[in-house]
């Protein structure tokens, strides 16, 4: 058993990932609005556009199935809005780090989950979500901010350690935990779900740690 068995049905998958990407776009748009200088504003607008493209690609998949994007996304609004409020942070650098770390982790996670989608839609979505999210732009802006401000590095390291927990909870909430149902209708969950998905979460956390290390932040 692997994570494929925990992939939700296609429309809920699309709804959750589409609303997540819309949220990344909104967070990056907010980062554009409060950017400290014009070069940062200009660069971040590119990253915001990338998140928007992912959202639009997922919305197109929803529409292709005759569904209304707002309806399909609606069930995921409360949890994702609460998550985004948690990780918005108190200032521009906290917000940027959240976009970089949570965006990176959840893009990776949804790509892994897309393995379990039926037919050709899985690879198509993995390709869409794997497109450049402007992570290098965020990393450059963060590295520049950290380089000129040593105490900021230890502050952001704390912030990064804090937000990974909330981010992993969102990932966990996306998993289908129903288990398998046999012909007699008996539901079997092969071992605790926690154990089955542990290797995937270990990978996600390793990639998170590399992102932190790349900025010189202790994970």
Interface residue with a second copy, options 4, 33, 144, 181 (CB under 8 A):
33
Sign of CA dihedral 113, 174, 160, 136: positive
Choose which of 11, 56, 111, 205 interacts with a second copy (CB under 8 A). 56
**Residue 67 interacting with a second copy (CB under 8 A):** no
Beta strands 180-181 and 187-188 are antiparallel
Q: Taking CB under 8 A as the rule, does residue 208 contact a second copy?
A: no
Among 10, 24, 48, 215, binds a second copy (CB under 8 A): 48
Query: Is 73 among the residues that bind a second copy (CB under 8 A)?
Result: yes
The answer to the question of residue 42 lying near a second copy (CB under 8 A) is yes
Report the residue from 11, 77, 121, 176 that binds a second copy according to the rule CB under 8 A: 77
| Residue 41 sits in the site that holds a second copy (CB under 8 A) | yes
Spatial distance between the Cα atoms of 57 and 218, rounded to a whole number of angstroms = 35
Residue whose CB is less far from a second copy, 69 or 160 = 69
Residues that bind a second copy (CB under 8 A): 22, 25-26, 29-30, 32-33, 37-39, 41-42, 45-46, 48-49, 52-53, 55-56, 59, 68-70, 73-74, 77
């Amino acid at each position: 058993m692997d994570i494929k068995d925990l992939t939700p049905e296609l429309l809920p998958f699309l709804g959750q990932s589409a609303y997540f990407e819309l949220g990344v776009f909104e967070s990056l748009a907010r980062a554009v609005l409060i950017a400290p200088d014009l070069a940062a504003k200009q660069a971040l607008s590119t990253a915001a556009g990338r998140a928007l493209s992912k959202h639009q690609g997922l919305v197109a998949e929803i529409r292709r199935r005759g569904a209304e994007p707002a309806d399909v996304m609606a069930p995921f609004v409360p949890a994702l809005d609460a998550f985004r409020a948690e990780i918005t942070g108190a200032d521009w650098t906290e917000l940027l780090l959240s976009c970089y770390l949570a965006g990176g982790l959840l893009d990776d996670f949804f790509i892994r989950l897309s393995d379990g989608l039926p037919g050709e839609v899985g690879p198509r979505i993995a390709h869409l979500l794997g497109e450049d999210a402007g992570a290098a732009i965020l990393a450059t802006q963060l590295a520049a901010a950290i380089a000129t401000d040593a105490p900021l590095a230890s502050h952001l390291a704390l912030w990064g350690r804090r937000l990974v927990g909330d981010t992993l909870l969102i990932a966990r909430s996306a998993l289908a935990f129903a288990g398998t149902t046999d012909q007699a209708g008996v539901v079997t969950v092969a071992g605790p779900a926690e154990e089955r998905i542990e290797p995937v979460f270990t990978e996600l956390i390793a990639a998170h740690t590399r992102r932190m290390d790349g900025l010189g932040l202790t994970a």
